[in-house]
Structure 1
Amino acid sequence: MKIWLEEIKTVFKECDDFFLQHDYLYNQPVILFGLSTLIDIPQTKKLIEINLNMPKYSLQEVIDHHLVKVAREQNNIIDAILEGKIILYIPDFEKYMIMEVISKSLNRSIELPTNENVIQDALDSFIEDIDTNIGIIRKHFRTKFLITKVISTGIEQEKKIALLGLEAHVNQNLMRKIETQLKEKHDQEIHNAQSLVKTLGFSAWDIVPKYKSTEIPTEVIASLKKGKVVLIIDDFPFALIFPNFLWDMFTTENERNLPIPLMLFIRVLRVIGVIVATLMPGLYVALVSVNPEVLQLELGLSIAQSREGVPYPALVEVLMMLVILELILEASVRLPKSIGPTLTMVGGIILGQAIISAKLVSNLLTIVVAGTTIANATVVGIQNHLMLRLLKYVIVILAAIYGVLGIIVGTVLICAYFASINVYGISYLDYQVSKDESNNG
């Protein structure tokens, strides 16, 4: 047992926040050690003295009656230290006791959602602590049928992953496969969503996400009622919902607080937005450069007049504008919030006006690109937003080669690709609703 203490000192010899203090308890010499960055040491020592200084028990009786948790292996001690526990070592008994502590406050408070806008719904969101996130879900969803399974993965950095499902609703086969996959690859390090996808056996190159991520608890609860499986990862302020369906990019739970006609109107707008964002740039290329005969004479002459003096073919013109717009969108994400929106808005206006004045692109293309960008932002979820931004280039290139026929071929290929995607046998094109929603939109 004394050898353990020396080996533990060796493990943490490069850690300046590792502390080791000598003290007395029941007039017995003891040693306290742990990580000072995770523990409120003065308050924790007071807590230990209050809990262990019980007059009717001796220190030996406290240990023998299992009133404290005694560490049996050296690895248990190291894991407990990394989890923020304090270790009490009694040299006379050669016992290591894992004690509960008063931790330092290292988590941010529950705040408003920052990545998703909420309309007429609860305004709390998930944070980085897994226990707090599960507690938020239980607060909003008071039921005894909530299944919660916690699995640890990783060797260098142990990560806790919680699987949540609603008993009698959850797809048991899906939950069993995800649980089995995580347990079989428990040695895999999970640092981000890509590593999680690889651990679950999916390709990290798929542009269509296998999961839906959300920071809103009510979205998680709605998904649990539909029989989906929810993954909550420690240090990750989002819940991952499996599986993700095509229909999920058009629906959100908080819009159910609106009357059904208004809810359906919003969803129809999102469907139109997806069609416009995907097909409009390709349609411009096809009608301008390959199939101008499809247009009415007046419209064709108007488009030709708007492109008068433009030196580039339609494909180069469209790709140049789309790439510039992608750069502006990316800059708006990376710049500080205080100057990002202003700089990108002013830069976009000035740059767009300068390009038109220089006759590098047509006025009509500016309208097409602006409409595409606005329509692209109507879908639900950042993954779906990025996916549509990428798919429109496929349509543009095929439209430049085959015209309107290329748009049709591209649409068929995209639909076939969507149909080929599945999560453990569940198709991406599946449609799933809970019983209480089947008659209410």
Structure 2
Amino acid sequence: MGNFVQEMKSTFAEHDDFFIHEEQFDHTALFLIGFNSLINFSKSNLYVRQMAELSDSVDELFTNLSDQHDVDAKQIIKAVLEGKLVILTGDDQRNAIVEPVPQNLRRSIEEPKNESPVQGPLDAFGEDIDINIGLIRMRLGTERLIHSSYQVGELPKRRISMLYLKGKAPDDLIEKIDQKLKQAHSDIETINDLNILFGAHKFVPVSHFSITELPLQAVYSLKRNRVVLFLDNTPYAFVLPHLFWDMLSTANDRNFHVSFTYLIRTLRGLGILCNLILPALYIAITSVNPEVLKIDLALFVAESREGIPLTPLFETLAMVVLVDLVTEAIIRLPKTVGPTVTMVGGVILGQGVVEAKLVSSLLVIVITAMLISGSAIVGVQNSLYIRTLKYFILIAASVFGIVGICTGLLFVCIILASFKTCDIPYMAFRITEKGDAK
């Protein structure tokens, strides 16, 4: 056994899934090295033996097995960690890095878990980048679909793939994203790390990209002059740039008549507005500006709050926070328990707080409408930041009433209008092929 084989054995001595297997070929000892958890050893070893039967010498065997020969120790260790099969001669004179038969560690193509297409394809992205790119190429059989691959981070390096349609995506946008990915040195462990890479602001909860698990939506975005990124071991596509109007439209909308499509998008816009102002509007008309209502409606609102010990602000804050907590609990809990929590939190708890005179029945209706309207927004990340912005408007309404709601909405519009993603204004209607946002 050569010195380098001994060195490899000591390097990975604490790894129980590491193997060193010895074979004899042409009076030469060959050592097969790798990880059992990443390599199907029996099938890979069978492949090596079959190639050995077709080879007359060790040099010919190495040539038939791989085009990566006689690399240095650093490359060999990196290849082993990446799940490759390394073959070394006993005298340390020759080595080769071989593509083995891998262990089946990937999911098959499944239905989407977080998005529900209506009358559309039911396949979804998985953790394997190559499969995800294949799902795109299956729908876009054109040479204009360009694919670039990057290695980002330090420990470990993550593979990121960039796809765009040549002649569609603006050259400035492609160059900007390419530069960001090539200059990335920090590790990309989470989706937020990728967002920070593209310049996410600490105090602006808007994401630089939209996220989808539907190949149909990714293809739709590519045709609309966008760039799509894939991160290894992440079953989503990241679409750049992300614009405000993306939360109103999806590729699935095109399955319906154009009039119905615009109706759906209008309802989503109303959903955003309702989610932002409904709790704030309740506070404004109950505590600051009741005079904006007709006298009979104002009396009805006052009667609904009769006997409530909490002020409208604390009453509304308590219910909004409680609903957000229930929403988070439903997301985190197993699917077998989630419906039970929904029933307890949505029906029993809501009825209980009304009967106990802790909140008014009108507020329960307002909170329910807010929750439903927030669910109409496209994209989980969009609904999350809309949920965050409503707290700011709610506080402003408790102090200034209707004027506070208008001021809060104006302030939100100013923030969103000043936000840029990849040097493209967030409030732009579309991206032209020449790179101008309109």
TM bracket (short chain)? over 0.9
What SS does the corresponding residue of 2:238 show, helix, strand or coil? strand
**Range with bigger deviation, 312-321 or 196-205:** 196-205
Partner of 1:269: 267
Alignment of 1:395-414 (within 5 A): 395-414=393-412
What SS does the corresponding residue of 2:50 show, helix, strand or coil? helix
What is the letter of the counterpart of residue 155 of structure 2? E
- 8 Å Cα contact 2:3-2:92 kept in structure 1: no
Matched, 1:370 2:368: yes
Q: 1:127/1:86 Cα in 2 relative to 1: closer, same or farther (>3 Å)? A: same
Partner of 1:297: 295
What is the letter of the counterpart of residue 414 of structure 2? A
**Could you tell me how far apart the structure 2 residues matched to 1:389 and 1:79 are?**
44
> How many Å apart are 1:93 and its aligned residue?
6.5
Partner of 1:150: 149
**Could you tell me how far apart the structure 2 residues matched to 1:411 and 1:347 are?**
30
Partner of 2:89: 90
Partner of 1:51: 51
**Could you tell me how far apart the structure 1 residues matched to 2:145 and 2:42 are?**
38
What SS does the corresponding residue of 1:70 show, helix, strand or coil? coil
> How many Å apart are 1:166 and its aligned residue?
0.6
Map Cα deviations across residues 4-32 of structure 1 (whole Å, 9 max, x no partner).
43433333222111100111123321111
What is the letter of the counterpart of residue 108 of structure 1? R
- 8 Å Cα contact 1:171-1:229 kept in structure 2: no
**Could you tell me how far apart the structure 2 residues matched to 1:321 and 1:82 are?**
51
Q: 1:411/1:268 Cα in 2 relative to 1: closer, same or farther (>3 Å)? A: same
Partner of 2:436: none
TM-score (norm 2): 0.95
Q: 1:228/1:280 Cα in 2 relative to 1: closer, same or farther (>3 Å)? A: same
**Could you tell me how far apart the structure 1 residues matched to 2:69 and 2:95 are?**
6
What SS does the corresponding residue of 2:160 show, helix, strand or coil? strand
What is the letter of the counterpart of residue 174 of structure 2? M
- 8 Å Cα contact 1:331-1:344 kept in structure 2: no
> How many Å apart are 1:3 and its aligned residue?
4.5
**Could you tell me how far apart the structure 2 residues matched to 1:301 and 1:167 are?**
63
**Could you tell me how far apart the structure 1 residues matched to 2:207 and 2:198 are?**
13
What is the letter of the counterpart of residue 166 of structure 1? L
**Range with bigger deviation, 66-75 or 238-247:** 66-75
Map Cα deviations across residues 247-266 of structure 1 (whole Å, 9 max, x no partner).
00010001101110111111
Which blocks of at least 5 consecutive residues in structure 1 are unaligned?
A: 436-441
Partner of 2:413: 415
- 8 Å Cα contact 1:232-1:239 kept in structure 2: yes
Which blocks of at least 5 consecutive residues in structure 2 are unaligned?
A: 434-438
**Could you tell me how far apart the structure 2 residues matched to 1:120 and 1:87 are?**
48
Alignment of 1:354-365 (within 5 A): 354-365=352-363
What SS does the corresponding residue of 1:69 show, helix, strand or coil? coil
TM-score (norm 1): 0.94
Identity, % of aligned positions: 37
CA RMSD of aligned residues (A): 1.8
> How many Å apart are 1:204 and its aligned residue?
4.9
> How many Å apart are 1:197 and its aligned residue?
2.0
Partner of 1:279: 277
Map Cα deviations across residues 68-122 of structure 1 (whole Å, 9 max, x no partner).
4214221211121122111111124611111121111111111000010111111
What SS does the corresponding residue of 2:47 show, helix, strand or coil? helix
Partner of 2:163: 164
Alignment of 1:66-215 (within 5 A): 68-92=67-91, 94-185=93-184, 187-215=185-213
- 8 Å Cα contact 1:230-1:242 kept in structure 2: yes
**Could you tell me how far apart the structure 2 residues matched to 1:221 and 1:344 are?**
35
Aligned length: 433
What SS does the corresponding residue of 2:13 show, helix, strand or coil? coil
- 8 Å Cα contact 1:20-1:31 kept in structure 2: yes
**Could you tell me how far apart the structure 2 residues matched to 1:35 and 1:426 are?**
46
- 8 Å Cα contact 1:420-1:427 kept in structure 2: yes
What SS does the corresponding residue of 2:112 show, helix, strand or coil? coil
What is the letter of the counterpart of residue 43 of structure 2? Q
What is the letter of the counterpart of residue 193 of structure 2? S
**Could you tell me how far apart the structure 2 residues matched to 1:66 and 1:13 are?**
27
Partner of 1:25: 25
**Could you tell me how far apart the structure 1 residues matched to 2:84 and 2:194 are?**
27
Partner of 1:439: none
What is the letter of the counterpart of residue 181 of structure 1? K
**Could you tell me how far apart the structure 2 residues matched to 1:51 and 1:204 are?**
56
Map Cα deviations across residues 148-197 of structure 1 (whole Å, 9 max, x no partner).
11100122212100011110011221221222122112x32111112112
From 343, 346, 368, the counterpart of 1:345: 343
From 311, 323, 326, the counterpart of 2:324: 326
Q: 1:181/1:120 Cα in 2 relative to 1: closer, same or farther (>3 Å)? A: same
> How many Å apart are 1:62 and its aligned residue?
4.5
**Could you tell me how far apart the structure 2 residues matched to 1:383 and 1:398 are?**
24
**Could you tell me how far apart the structure 2 residues matched to 1:62 and 1:101 are?**
15
What SS does the corresponding residue of 1:241 show, helix, strand or coil? strand
**Could you tell me how far apart the structure 2 residues matched to 1:65 and 1:216 are?**
40
